[in-house]
Structure 1
Amino acid sequence: MSDRTSRSASESVSRSTSSSAPTGVIHDIGYQRYTGPRLGRRQVFGALYGHGLRTAFGLGRSAKAKIFPWLIVAIVVVVAAGATAVRTQIGQVVLSYPDFANSMSWLVIFFVAVVAPELVSRDLRSGVLPLYFSRPLPRADYPLAKLAALVTALWLLLGAPQVLMFVGAAFTTGDGLRGAWNELLDLLPGLLYAGIWAVVFASIGLLVASFTGKRAFAAGGVVAVFLMTIPVGGTLTIMPSETVNELAGLVSPTTLVQGTGRWALNTEGMGVQIGNLGPVYGLYTIALVGLCVALLLARYRKVAS
């Protein structure tokens, strides 16, 4: 009687255990292991550069993000088209290629003030840098890719309208191929001058923006650096010392670029007087860009570490 009762109890426990055991079904939904090539540092750098360049012009983003950059683009294109139209009517150059870059300096400042925070401040604020650096991406590559994207965007902003001016002028000179060739020789210094603008302004603007994750603060800092130095340089130009007057252009990035262009490319420089100090402007420009890049790299060696 006792054995029968114990067997019945054990069978009851066994049935209870089997009924309470978890059951499940494995479904094959087609996931497979990735067996393709593993992309490395070059591809990651290229992706960052391409994304940064698209961000500079609001491509792939909302319509609101496109308003400011494309408004700036529209303004510089209209100015270039207007200068070309006037030249074809009166037969004289009203705005040379380097002068076009000088006249767009204020727009360049505001373009950098808006775009530089978009490139770096957003990532700082959202905290995604550790994710970037978990890939085969050296810390130096991230800021260099962003810097290259901003330099390219600024060069396109100033250089593309000059190409438009060249196309309009080359076919209206009346001298055929010789006229087009001479016009090309005038265009090349303008494109190089646009490159100087792009490198200097991108280096300074990106460095300033990299110190804060708040885009409003970054934009304000960039504008302050570029605009507050202009009256300081203007004050130095009225000092009684001629040497001080000629060195005054070193204070502001805008006059620094104009002075360097006047020395290296024989541009007008919008009234910036450099005297015999042209090499000083050139060396100072190189040193300033190098310092900004070095500080930018040092900044990203510490961030998100």
Structure 2
Amino acid sequence: MSEPTGVIHDIGYQRYTGPRLGRGHVFGALYLHGVRTAFGLGRSAKAKIFPWLIVAVLTVVAAGATAVRAQFGQVVMTYAQFADAMAWLVIFFVAVAAPELVSRDLRSGVLPLYFSRPLPRGDYALAKLTALVTALWLLLGGPQLLMFLGAAFSTGNGMRGVWDELLDLLPGLLYAGLWAVVFASIGLLVASLTGKRAFAAGGIVAVFLMTTPIVGVLSVLPSRTVNELAFLASPSTLVNGVGVWALRDWLAPEAGDGMQIGRWGPLYAVAAALLVAGCVTLLLLRYRKVAAR
């Protein structure tokens, strides 16, 4: 009878005996990682260049507007107007950040690892979406806060002036949140369709920029109703329309001179809500399909 040749080695594997943090902790960790990824934090210096370049541009614009107001007492732009003026930069930020959040995971094939844990498929998509919304809101809201601090310290009306300035800031932050929600919903949905970041970035830019000429064509047709509804055709002008309707006092009365939406303001708000709801629904369906593979 031959001697046994098998050997059992103890390589130190042990069962995990610590606390089971559960679904909420997984969602929170994924969300925090997503916010950091959007700004290139924890990644190479190359990944930080573009997002922080955009942050720098927005900060310089806000600082310039604050300096002019402090020096000459002239309001260059309101907080809500700042969000409108800088929205075109947000498009390019989304085009870079959204593929980093989802396209990399698709291309590298790590989704089965995510879904092998107690993480529902929808939680992954919602965590990424919430992270992108937060990043975009910080992108627009941070410079607005800088403008507020400059105005608050330069006001000559004491605490009353600071309070009035705060009442102007809050609608601006809400408006920035609207930009963030709409742009993040569209951008992440487009990015989730491909694992190639270059294709995803190009698709996001195309969705936002190629719809603008449609608005131009509809706005010159010989129909006042069509002209007033033309801005529904592009995500950017759709958000502008909601702002003109809901925040006219903060966008300044003249803000509606270039965008006449007539009595259709509530329709713009409903259209924005339906657009976000539709994008989120399609995003959840997309990840149900991806996870089933």
Give the TM-score normalised by the residue count of structure 2.
Answer: 0.94
Correspondence for 1:300 among 262, 287, 290:
287
Give the match's secondary structure for 1:171.
helix
Q: CA deviation at 1:269?
A: 5.7
Q: Percent identity?
A: 74
Q: Specify which of 53, 69, 74 is matched with residue 35 of structure 2.
A: 53
- The answer on 1:221 being equivalent to 2:203 is yes
Within a 5 Å distance, the mapping from 1:1-305 to structure 2 comes to 17-18=2-3, 21-22=4-5, 26=9, 31-266=13-248, 267=251, 268=255, 271-305=258-292
Matched with 1:11 is: none
| Conserved 8 A contact 1:237-1:244 | yes
Q: Give the residue type in structure 2 aligned to 1:22.
A: T
CA distance in 2 between counterparts of 1:83 and 1:159 reads 15
CA distance in 1, matches of 2:139, 2:233: 24
Q: Distance in 1 between matches of 2:180 and 2:269?
A: 15
Instruction: State the Cα distance separating 1:38 from its structure 2 match.
Output: 1.2
- Tell me: CA distance 1:270–1:66, structure 2 relative to 1, closer, same or farther (3 Å): farther
Secondary structure in 2 matching 1:147: helix
1:60 aligned counterpart, secondary structure:
coil
What is the Cα deviation at residue 285 of structure 1?
0.4
1:30 deviates by 5.4
RMSD of the alignment, in Å?
Answer: 1.5
Deviation of 1:126 after TM superposition, in Å, equals: 0.7
CA distance in 2, matches of 1:235, 1:169: 40
Matches of 1:255 and 1:77 in 2, distance apart?
24
Tell me, in whole angstroms, the C-alpha distance in 2 between the residues paired with 1:85 and 1:33.
Answer: 60
Q: CA deviation at 1:71?
A: 0.5
Q: How many residues align?
A: 287
Which secondary structure does the structure 1 equivalent of 2:42 belong to?
A: coil
What displacement does 1:22 show? 3.0
TM-score by length of 1: 0.91
Distance 1:208 1:51, change over 3 A: same
Q: Which runs of 5+ in 2 are unaligned?
A: none
Q: Work out whether residues 102 and 270 of structure 1, in 8 Å CA contact, stay in contact via their aligned partners in 2.
A: no
Provide the rounded CA distance (Å) in 1 between the counterparts of 2:271 and 2:151: 35
The separation in 2 between residues aligned to 1:269 and 1:33, in whole angstroms, is 65
Structure 1: gaps of 5 or more residues: 1-13
Give the greater-gyration-radius structure (CA).
1
> Matches of 2:77 and 2:99 in 1, distance apart?
32
Q: 1: CA distance between counterparts of 2:289 and 2:180? A: 26
Q: Which runs of 4+ in 1 moved over 4 A?
A: 23-27
Partner SS for 1:271: coil
1:48-96 Cα offsets, whole Å, 9 max, x none, are 1011000000000000000010001011001000100011111010111
